[in-house]
Amino acid sequence: MNSPEQPGAVQVQDFPGGIVLPDNKAQSLQQPIRPGGLPPELWLPLQQHLGQPAITVVSEGDRVLKGQLLAAAQGPDSVPVHAPTSGLISAIAQRAVPHPSGMSDWCITLIPDGEDRWRERQPLPAYLELERDQLLARVHASGIAGLGGSGFATGRKLDSTRGHQIHQLILNGVECEPYITADQALMQERAEEILEGLALTAHLIEAKQCLIAIEDNKPAAIQAMQGALARHREDNSQLQRPTEIVVIPTKYPSGGEKQLIQMLTGQELPHGTLPADIGILCHNVATVAAIYRAVVHDEPLLSRIITLTGEALADPGNREALLGTPINYLLQQAGQDQAATRHLIMGGPMMGFELPSSQVPVVKTSNCLIAATVQEMPPAPPAQTCIRCGQCEQVCPMTLLPQQLLWFAQGSEHHKAEQHNLFDCIECGACAYVCPSHIPLVQHYRHSKGVLRKEQAEQASANRARERFEQRQARLEREKAEKEARRQARAEARKARQSETPAATGSPEQAPTSAEIAAPVDTQMLEQRREQAMAKREELLERLSAARDQALASTPQLERALAKHEQRLAALDQKLADARTPAQGQTP
């Protein structure tokens, strides 16, 4: 390990492949970050992250305050949604969300009242006194999902370090995609906030060392961060860990988590592991700034910085937009020339996706919006045949064989593609960028992945069904055998009693008590009830496994019902056993 105290201690390594792109960042950096304004409506999707959607906790017609919880997280991968401003919940309905397919999803519509009234807040400046789990709970509750574009639940990511010693906390300020300047603007203007967030995060996960990676095409951001870091050092602040700003060469996709880890540590993240498994955690600069605001000021994630750019905009720049702000509202503010807009891209030109409509909201992962003219993004020429020139392979940062993967994808040999590590493809688009035959390689890979994922899901579902069936068969057989055994036991007992009866009659003083006479009747009734209970339990079990498969909301209810039933069954068994004991005790 390098000695982290000295500046320049980190030796920046290279990663294989990669490309140098025209960066197109200057046009959105002419102005400082401006507020995105208060639109007439906010559309808040319940799923703005990877993982389970949140569940609404408000109803139509409710008045809500700024920062109030609107939808709660459902499981650890899920993140909650809060009201970006005070207002009225006018609808909870399906509407278009930012997605390449133009699909609709559940959204909460909030009509702002213009007062921007906060709910009661509990700031926490002395966070160092809090336990790790308490801090983590605050992050979980704040609705932060990876703001770099991944949308992975931040609380979950922090939690992934449990049981791991984190040697390096890497702050990703690389922003390697062209056009996007949201992180760069944030670093230039709010370096302090980022460092506060870094200090807090490092404290939370007990990181040994912090590295802040910035590409060398952002000198102003580097300077601002260095200045803030120097001030922090002087103030002897909460950033007690050795921290270093690492300037890395500009090469796409250096901001990819795996590539960044390779550049800063020389290590490759082994296939199928998380960075925490090798003692590393990466966070986007905007994410840690949001963590700081959430924990210290009790401000959940309500807005984000989004780069509005592209030649169809008269006034490009970075806006701090409330989550849920309609895209067309922002575009209007930026002076969009609608006629000249040929493509509307959310995200960067390399990995972003085309929006089918501008009637969609800003979500937690929306880092950039490009309104491109036809000159800016001319239509791709028709694809020619692959000539196996291997340029794709030279630029692939994951050292895959793109042309081979294409061959398999085209021939529907998806399993071969999988064996050639198709799922390691990060879809950075470098291969398609350089392809002289203009083949939409990434699209082919996505198709292959889709086919394989579907197949896997179907396979898993079929396996579950088979298992269920086999278990049911086994259970039925077992029960049948038990029933038979009981029946035989009863028959034998009866036979034994009958053979004893004459002897019993011979001794009149040994006449059975009324309770003992009633006992067999009682047992029979109990057994009948037990049979019924078993049947009911079986039915419940089946319904539960079906519900689990389909991830129905009724699962917990069914679980509770089953547990209750098991108790009842146990009680019946006990009663039955009790009822039998005296009877058996008497017979011999």
Partner 1 sequence: MTFIARSSPHAFSGNSTGRLMQWVMLASVPGLLAQTWFFGWGNLINVLWCMALAVGAEAVMLRIRKRPVRWQLEDCTALVTGLLLGLSLPPLLPWWISALAVISAIVMAKHLYGGLGNNPFNPAMVGYAVVLISFPLAMTTTWAMPAGAGDGGLSLWGTLVQIFAGSASSPAIDGVTMATPLDLYKQQIHRELASTVTQHPAFGDFVARGWEWVNLGFLAGGLLLLWRRIITWHIPVSFLAALAFMALLFGWDPDQSVPLSLHLLAGGTMLGAFFIATDPVSGATSNKGKLVYGAGIGALLYIIRAWGSYPDAVAFAVLLMNFAVPFIDHYTQPRSYGHQKPRRVS
Residues 403-432 within binding reach of partner 1 (CB under 8 A): 403-404, 416, 419-421, 424, 427, 429, 432
Helix (H, G, I), strand (E, B) or coil at 35: strand
Rounded least distance, CB 268 to partner 1, Å = 5
Piece in contact with partner 1 (CB under 8 A), picked from 116-124, 202-210, 350-358, 580-588: 350-358
Of residues 148-187, those binding partner 1 (CB under 8 A): 178
Residue 358 in contact with partner 1, rule: CB under 8 A:
yes
What is the distance between the alpha carbons of residues 572 and 33, in angstroms, rounded to a whole number?
A: 70
Contacts of 580 (CB under 8 A, 6+ apart): 519, 523
- Cβ–Cβ < 8 Å for 56, 78: no
Piece in contact with partner 1 (CB under 8 A), picked from 65-73, 143-151, 316-324, 369-377: 369-377
Q: Which is nearer to partner 1, 155 or 253 (CB)?
A: 253
Piece in contact with partner 1 (CB under 8 A), picked from 204-212, 227-235, 386-394, 516-524: 386-394
Q: Which is nearer to partner 1, 86 or 358 (CB)?
A: 358
Q: Which is nearer to partner 1, 158 or 327 (CB)?
A: 327
Q: Are strands 63-64 and 87-96 parallel, antiparallel or unpaired?
A: antiparallel
Question: How many DSSP H helices and E strands does the chain contain?
Answer: 15, 17
Residue 230 in contact with partner 1, rule: CB under 8 A:
no
Which H helix or E strand runs over 579? helix 555-586
Residue 401 in contact with partner 1, rule: CB under 8 A:
yes
Residue 13 in contact with partner 1, rule: CB under 8 A:
no
Residue 229 in contact with partner 1, rule: CB under 8 A:
no
- CA distances 164 to 75, 205, 209, 273, Å, are 22, 9, 14, 13
Which residues partner with 55 through β-bridges?
72
Q: Which member of 282, 400, 519, 526 binds partner 1 (CB under 8 A)?
A: 400
DSSP characters for 307-344? Answer: EEESTTBSS-EEEEEETT-BHHHHHHHTTB-TTT--EE
Residue 268 in contact with partner 1, rule: CB under 8 A:
yes
For the purposes of burial, counting CB atoms within 10 Å of the CB of 451, is it exposed (0-12), middle (13-18) or buried (19 or more)?
A: middle
Q: Which is nearer to partner 1, 182 or 370 (CB)?
A: 370
| Count of residues of this chain found to bind partner 1 when the rule CB under 8 A is applied | 72
Which residues partner with 35 through β-bridges?
320
Residue 375 in contact with partner 1, rule: CB under 8 A:
no
- CA distances 31 to 179, 180, 213, 316, 387, Å, are 15, 14, 24, 8, 45
Q: Which member of 25, 66, 203, 258 binds partner 1 (CB under 8 A)?
A: 258
Q: How far is CA 132 from its chain centroid?
A: 21
Q: Which member of 382, 502, 508, 585 binds partner 1 (CB under 8 A)?
A: 382
Q: Which member of 238, 391, 448, 545 binds partner 1 (CB under 8 A)?
A: 391
Q: Which is nearer to partner 1, 424 or 482 (CB)?
A: 424
Rounded least distance, CB 576 to partner 1, Å = 59
Residue 338 in contact with partner 1, rule: CB under 8 A:
yes
Residue 399 in contact with partner 1, rule: CB under 8 A:
yes
Q: Are strands 317-322 and 34-35 parallel, antiparallel or unpaired?
A: parallel
Q: What is the CA radius of gyration of the chain?
A: 32
Rounded least distance, CB 62 to partner 1, Å = 33
